[in-house]
Amino acid sequence: MADYDFDVLVIGSGPGGYVAAIRAAQLGLKTACVESRETLGGTCLNVGCIPSKALLHASELYDEAANGKLAKLGIKVQVELDLEQMHAQRRDAVQGLTGGIAFLFKKNKVEWIKGRAAFTAADTVQVGDRSVRAKNIVIATGSSVTPLPGVEVDQKVVVDSTGALELAKVPGTMVVIGGGVIGLELGSVWKRLGAKVTVVEYLDQILPGFDGEVRKEANKIFRKQGIEFKLGTKVTGVSVAGDTATLTLEPAAGGAAETIEADAVLVSIGRRPNTDGLALDKAGLTVNQRGQVEIDHDFRTSVAGIWAIGDVVPGPMLAHKAEDEGIAVAENIAGLTGIVNHDVIPSVVYTAPEIAGVGLTEEVARERGEIKVGKFPMLANSRAKTNHEPDGFVKIIADAKTDRVLGVWIIASVGGTMIAQAAQAMEFGATSEDIAYTCHAHPTHSEAIKEAAMAVTGKPIHM
Ligand code: FAD
Ligand code: NAI
């Protein structure tokens, strides 16, 4: 190894970085991972996927108990919210899982270098007073909240996603700026716990990037749940006096401004790649217009020996995408063939019901060629109906000539679990007929996928 300290140095220990480091070590490479946070696991484990799901799960159960849903099943309960305990179990989940990564690092002999890394040369980074030289460096620095110009996040009245996980009391009113994934998930949490929630979205529909019909139906369901939406509206200013925020809203298309007040404001207008302070220029690297590090098919940057994965590179900002890229980059560094099929990355919004999709939207598929579409409502699925979960549908988009499945979209209570089957089928190049002739256990929500596949050629049984 000549005078290198490591074969592989990974910068960032999120789902991209920690997975890359573990796989590199498993492949016999001497590996270290630099992390500037106190704990491992990145955005996902510390302030993202895991704590948000902890609150989504708990608040969903609270909602079922407090708002008559359990009573409908013959279960009478006296309900009281213990928000402190709800937060405690969230912190517990985070602590357990971040500690788990530290254990896996030890087990796989990955050295955890604590501190912030900055390049001093293409093969060297400085961390505190330590200079570390590595044959391969993987940039996995992730992303952070995009600020809204002129709006100051104080993490008390005006919060970002991290602050919205920590609110010490349920706000009476909450305005969510941005009807994307974070706004809908965390907006749902506080709505269920009692806040009156209004989502202000710049575009004319929520959930950009999702299938058009799914976006519309999801919006309808959230409205039915009591969340208010102001679509086609932009926030042009937020001022805070005491415990109250005043927001100025303007129609995106122009027109008269209005103001609304809120006890809490969540700014969730997207995330941007983390490259500040990395001194990429010292390594001979630049970023693109969106601030991302560009890579080729094998996750190589333009500089030999430097690789990049996860939220800091182009593509959806999703933990499982980062993880798969982590495995692939380590395998490529080890001289194996690491591949990620970016056409088959599922996406899930963990609201109730869950909203999930994989592959092409109907709009994009139609632009590319002739398609057939099969749809099946959850209302006609025996298990969903029995469980009083009538909202949503499964939609399968297939190529009109070859019948190959191009996209699957689901709104269902367990849509996030159901989508795995669709992703696997697409990874294997399945036709809608393959899915229709696969035996699905009864009674399961997944039977709706089989029926939607049958509907592609016009023959569902239960509709
Ligand atoms: P990150 O997880 O962002 O990790 C990067 C790490 O690098 C950070 O810990 C950072 O401290 C460290 N770092 C940065 N610069 C340096 C440096 N110079 N030196 C040392 N360390 C550095 N995705 C899903 O798929 N499912 C979900 O349910 C989901 N829920 C989410 C909920 C919320 C509220 C948020 C904010 C995000 C959510 N995401 C979810 C997105 C997911 O968290 C990200 O896609 C994922 O964490 C990206 O992984 P990563 O490894 O690229 O980067
Ligand atoms: P997002 O990109 O999903 O949504 C942001 C929304 O804000 C968009 O609809 C956009 O049109 C709107 N917007 C932008 N500026 C606005 C303004 N001034 N006024 C009103 N609306 C405005 O971003 P979000 O929700 O912040 O999430 C960031 C990332 O985190 C996403 O890319 C997502 O992939 C990831 N994430 C994934 C989760 C999951 O997989 N379940 C959960 C949470 C986050």
**Residue to probe by mutation, ligand 1, list 34, 49, 167, 313, most atoms within 8 Å of CB:** 49
C-alpha–C-alpha distance, residues 132 and 255, integer Å? 56
165-197 pLDDT, tens digit per residue, is 999 999 999 999 999 999 999 999 999 999 999
The two three-digit tokens of residue 439, written as one number:
């035996």
* Residue 329: DSSP 8-state: H
Q: What is the DSSP letter of 293?
A: P
Q: What is the pLDDT of residue 168?
A: 97
Query: Looking at the domain covering 353-456, what would its CATH class be?
Result: alpha beta
Give the bridge partners for 175, in sequence order: 198, 265
Hey, what CATH class is 158-269 in? alpha beta
Query: What is the position in ligand 1's atom list of the atom closest to the CA of 277?
Result: 18
Distance from residue 345's CA to the centre of ligand 2 (Å): 17
Ligand 2 neighbour 200 (Cβ under 6 A): yes
User: Which atom, in ligand 1's list, is nearest to the CA of 320?
Assistant: 25
Mutate to test the pocket of ligand 2, among 271, 272, 292, 351 (most ligand atoms within 8 A of CB): 271
Distance (angstroms) between ligand 2 centre and the Cα of 427 equals 27
CB-based contact 99:112 (threshold 8 Å): no
Indicate which residue's Cα is closest to atom 33 of ligand 1.
Answer: 48
Diameter over CA atoms, the chain: 71
Query: Length of the chain in residues, anyone?
Result: 463
Q: What are the structure tokens assigned to 427, written together? A: 């990874």
Q: Which atom of ligand 2 is nearest to the CA of 200?
A: 20
The end-to-end CA distance of the chain, in Å, is: 65
SS3 call for 108: helix
CA distances from 94 to 48, 100, 246, 409 (A): 10, 10, 33, 30
Q: Is the pTM of this model over 0.95?
A: yes
Say if residues 423 and 344 touch (Cβ distance below 8 Å).
yes
Torsion sign across C-alpha atoms 59, 61, 64, 66 = negative
The tokens describing 182, both together, are 């974070």
- φ/ψ of residue 158, rounded to 5: -105, 115
Q: Is the CB of 349 under 6 A from ligand 2?
A: yes
Condensed to tens digits (0 to 9), the pLDDT of residues 365-400 reads: 999 999 999 999 999 999 999 999 999 999 999 999
3-class secondary structure, 82: coil
Give 375-387 as a DSSP string.
EEEGGGSHHHHHT
Predicted confidence at residue 318, as pLDDT, reads: 98
Nearest CA to ligand 2 atom 41: 349
Which numeric CATH code is attached to 6-145+272-333? 3.50.50.60
Contacts 24+ apart (CB under 8 A), 434-441: 435/396, 435/405
Q: What's the rounded mean pLDDT across residues 427-435?
A: 98
Report domain extents, the chain: 6-145+272-333, 158-269, 353-456
How far is Cα 81 from Cα 86, in angstroms, rounded to an integer?
8
CB 117 near ligand 1, within 6 Å: yes
The rounded distance, in Å, linking the Cα atoms of 317 and 311 is 5
Span 245-268, average pLDDT? 96
Which 3 state secondary structure label does DSSP give 17?
helix
Instruction: Specify whether the CB–CB gap between 240 and 151 falls below 8 A.
Output: no
Q: How far apart are CA 193 and CA 85, in angstroms?
A: 13
Q: Under DSSP, is residue 49 helix (H, G, I), strand (E, B) or coil?
A: helix
| Residues with catalytic roles | 442
Strand-pairing partners, residue 376, are: 394
Of 1-15, 122-136, 402-416, 436-450, the poorest mean pLDDT is in 1-15
Nearest to 308 by CA among 143, 154, 160: 143
Quote the tokens at residue 127. Answer: 């961390």
DSSP per-residue string spanning 138-183: EE---EEEPPPTT----SSSEE-HHHHT--SS--SEEEEE--SHHH
Exposed/middle/buried for residue 289 (C-beta within 10 Å: 0-12, 13-18, 19+) = exposed
Phi, psi of 196 (to 5 degrees): -90, 115
Q: Are residues 181 and 349 in contact, defined by beta-carbon separation less than 8 angstroms?
A: yes
- Report strand pairing: 31-35 vs 111-114: parallel
The two tokens of residue 42 are 């990145």
Residue nearest to atom 14 of ligand 2 (CA): 269
458 pLDDT above the threshold of 80: yes
Quick check: CB of 49 below 6 Å from ligand 1?
yes
Torsion of CA 210, 211, 212, 214, to 10 degrees: -90
DSSP conformation letters of 236-267: EEEEEETTEEEEEEEETT----EEEEESEEEE
Q: How far is the CA of 319 from the centre of ligand 1 (A)?
A: 7
- pLDDT higher than 80, residue 2: no
For ligand 2, say whether the CB of 148 is within 6 Å of any of its atoms.
yes
Among the atoms of ligand 2, which is closest to the Cα of residue 178?
7
Q: For residue 270, name the pLDDT band (cuts at 50, 70, 90).
A: very high
- β 271-273/354-359 pair status: unpaired
Residue 1's pLDDT band, with cuts at 50, 70 and 90, is low
Same fold, 6-145+272-333 and 158-269: yes
pLDDT in tens, 6-18: 999 999 999 999 9
CA of 205 to the centre of ligand 2 (A): 12
Q: What rounded mean pLDDT belongs to the chain?
A: 97
User: d(Cα 60, Cα 76) in Å, to the nearest integer?
Assistant: 17
The first and second tokens of residue 358, run together, are 């994989």
Name the helix (H) or strand (E) containing 406. Answer: strand 405-412
